[in-house]
Amino acid sequence: MEEVVRARGHEHVSAEHASTLEVTGDDYLTPAGDCILAIEADRVPADFDPEFVAACQDPEATITATVEAGGERATVTGRGDPDLTFESERSHVCRTSDYVDDRTVMVGADAAAGDLDRDLVAALADGAEATFTLAVER
């Protein structure tokens, strides 16, 4: 089961954060947003199918996030958690930690923004169109 989000990069994408990565529906990005990979997401977690959300709430679920832009691609894998609500109307956050809030779409991620290939980051910083795909397997 998967959910696909379309967004775009921005000149302030730096992807330096060590524990999170984020795709936001906001239409702006400041240099302080060092975890944000893309802006203007066409969908937010609150838009996701309830079946997808339920699958992600299984602590045994494997959740994979794939970010594609400018011909580059990165995959981050984490897990589900019973506390994931997918209620955010603003952004999707993948976390290496176990912290959960309404924006969290994955915990225990094996990578964060700072771990991503710099060619992908450069494409996003050039404003490339981006696809953020979340897939869940139980």
| CATH for 104 | 2.60.120.630
Distances (CA, A) of 27 to 14, 60, 90: 16, 34, 10
Domain span at 54: 2-137
Tokens of 86: 């997918």
Domain count, the chain: 1
Each residue's pLDDT tens digit, 97-108: 999 999 999 999
Question: Exposed, middle or buried by CB within 10 Å (0-12, 13-18, 19+), for 90?
Answer: middle
- The residues facing 132 across adjacent strands are 5, 67
pLDDT at 138: 86
pLDDT at 22: 98
pLDDT at 88: 98
pLDDT < 50 positions in the chain:
none
Mean pLDDT of the chain: 98
